[in-house]
Amino acid sequence: MHTERFDIIIIGSGAGGGTLAYALGGTPARILVVERGEPVPQEAENWDPAAVWKHLRYRTDERWLDERGEFTPYTHYCVGGNTKFWGSVLYRLRREDFGEIAHVDGVSPAWPISYETLEPYYARAERLYQVHGRHGDDPTDPPRSTPFPHPPVPHAEGMAAIVDRLRGFGLHPSPLPLGVIDPGVPGGCVLCNTCNSFPCRLHKKSDAEVCCVEPAVARPNVTMWTGATARRLLTDGPGRSVTAVEIERRGEVVRVEASLVVVACGAVNSAALLLRSANGAHPDGLANSSGLVGTRYMAHLATMMQGFHPFEKNETVFQKTVAINDYYLAGPGMPYPLGQIQSQGRTHGVMAQIVVPWIPLWAYEAWVARGVDWLVMTEDLPRPDNRVTVGADGRIRLQYRPNNVQAHRQLVAEAMRVLKRLGAWIVIKHSHKNKNTTHQCGTLCFGTDPRTSVLDTFCRTHDIDNLFVVDASFFPSSAAVNPGLTIAAQALRAADHIIDTHLS
């Protein structure tokens, strides 16, 4: 095994790691970004529903365990991480999400920082990820110091008609905040129907590779190793600092030393890496004096819904422009939050066929051509027994029992009523249930008390001075909007803190 040395190692290049690499790129520190995956090639398969959904071309082939046995998690290992496949719906959490909120199934805990603390970083993250949106239509919009950097992506004709009708029902539909580059402009995003869950063939989606990793590695002080998996973090004898990372790269094991290590592997893999790195000073896993590493896993309750009308063809190509947040803080006739409804990318016949494979593709194609697609999403609450553990062989085991299910059912029922009022003859529902790891978060929650949190409010571990975790792990609650912008904003905040405390 040979040894190399950098000043900072960032493990993972997704929303957290990629954003951090960008923000630290301008410093004098010698930075190594370690990414287990490779860049996603720009190729015809990027936009081929069969390649993406049937042959799972870009999904990891890793198998995780849950209480029923093995499963393939819905996650991707590549440069840019899961942001390559995201729908690029880039929301700020609502201001209320930072406080304690009573839900029908328990309490969503307060965050240790306020919305106002994160607000300037949200503004920076929106500029970095080129977010298009409009403030004010959504009753839950938090206050902003600056307008959205770009105007909203206009609704297609069919969606504009739906928005008018939703307003007629007394609802407050609003433009989805979207990270796309130059939509509708020659040379820019072409507003196609293969965005959410597909990589962008044109590199016009605001993902971490395009917006952060590529500009970061263009700097002379940032090096990136792809196909390089961090296996273990090594500490000094007393366990107060990480001294090196053991990395497997193209069949060789390399020891890389650094004075600062940032783990950004995604909520499940970051917890797993800390657990796998247990040693004499940290027998239960690194930074685990609280016993909380891996616990409080959350992933949202999500149901895909399609309003179907046999005689109305849906001509919309880019459908994902509308949000309904009227039930976000309280449901009709009940004081508890239900969550969010947003229009989704178009369903393709192949995607639907995966659920019931014996129905022929042409029938699915005819059906999805007459449907309008929506995503209905509810907050799940942090519970100690929803957790990531690793076996003796290092394999990931995910234990997850959904909670807040009653609120989600009620939101689905509300969405059903809305879709029926919009004229749908039939509403079809589908959920990936426990296997939906796309919005994984919360396994290394941040806080001020080392007994009740793993990370401090800047995402540094309480137990180890030179170890940070900058990805979705830090979430103390999952809220009910998409997590990506909050991960990026906190990464920018952590970067400022690292610059102030370690690099000045």
Would you tell me which residues interact with ligand FAD (CB under 6 A)? 11-17, 34-37, 74, 77-78, 81-83, 85-90, 196-197, 229-230, 264-267, 269, 273, 438-439, 471-472, 482-485, 487
Interface with ligand SF4, residue 192, by CB under 6 A = yes
Burial class (CB in 10 A: 0-12, 13-18, 19+), 503: middle
Residues across the chain: 504
Tokens 């893999």, residue?
A: 269
Residue 180 binding result from ligand FAD, ligand SF4, none, given CB thresholds of 5 to 8 Å by partner type: ligand SF4
Among ligand FAD, ligand SF4, none, the one that 85 touches (CB under a kind-dependent 5 to 8 A) is: ligand FAD
CA distances from 470 to 147, 284, 473 (A): 26, 21, 7
105: amino acid identity, one letter: D
How far apart are CB 393 and ligand FAD at their closest, in Å?
A: 15
Residue 294 touches which of ligand SF4, ligand FAD, none (CB < 5 to 8 A by kind)? none
202 binds, among ligand FAD, ligand SF4, none (CB under 5 to 8 A by kind): ligand SF4
Name the binder of 273 from ligand FAD, ligand SF4, none, CB < 5-8 A by kind: ligand FAD
Buried b (16+ CB within 10 A) or exposed e, 208-238: bbbbbbbebbeeebbebbbebbbebbbbeee
Which region among 26-34, 144-152, 184-192, 387-395 touches ligand SF4 (by CB under 6 A)? 184-192
Q: Which is nearer to ligand SF4, 180 or 396 (CB)?
A: 180
- Given ligand SF4, ligand FAD, none, residue 123, with its beta carbon under 5 to 8 Å by kind, binds none
Least Å from the CB of residue 192 to ligand SF4: 4
Tokens, residue 188: 């820019």
Helices (H), 70-177: 115-128, 157-168
Site string for ligand SF4, 302-341 (x = CB under 6 A): ----------------x-----------------------
Using DSSP's 3-state secondary structure scheme, residue 501 falls into: helix
Q: Both tokens of residue 24?
A: 């630290």
d(CA 174, CA 176): 6
Among 118, 200, 472, 494, binds ligand SF4 (CB under 6 A): 200
Number of helices (H) and strands (E), helices first, in the chain? 11, 23
Contact pick of 150, 205, 282, 439 for ligand SF4 (by CB under 6 A): 205
Question: By CB under 6 A, is residue 180 in contact with ligand SF4?
Answer: yes
Residue 471 contact, options ligand SF4, ligand FAD, none, Cβ 5-8 Å cut-off depending on partner type: ligand FAD
Report the C-alpha gap between 244 and 468 in whole angstroms.
14
* Closest CA relative to residue 66, chosen from 443, 438, 434: 434
The DSSP letter of residue 45 is: G
> Which residue lies nearer to ligand FAD by CB, 17 or 175?
17
Per DSSP, what are the bridge partners of residue 468? 262, 460
Interface residues with ligand SF4 (CB under 6 A) are: 180, 189-192, 194-195, 198, 200, 202, 204-205, 318
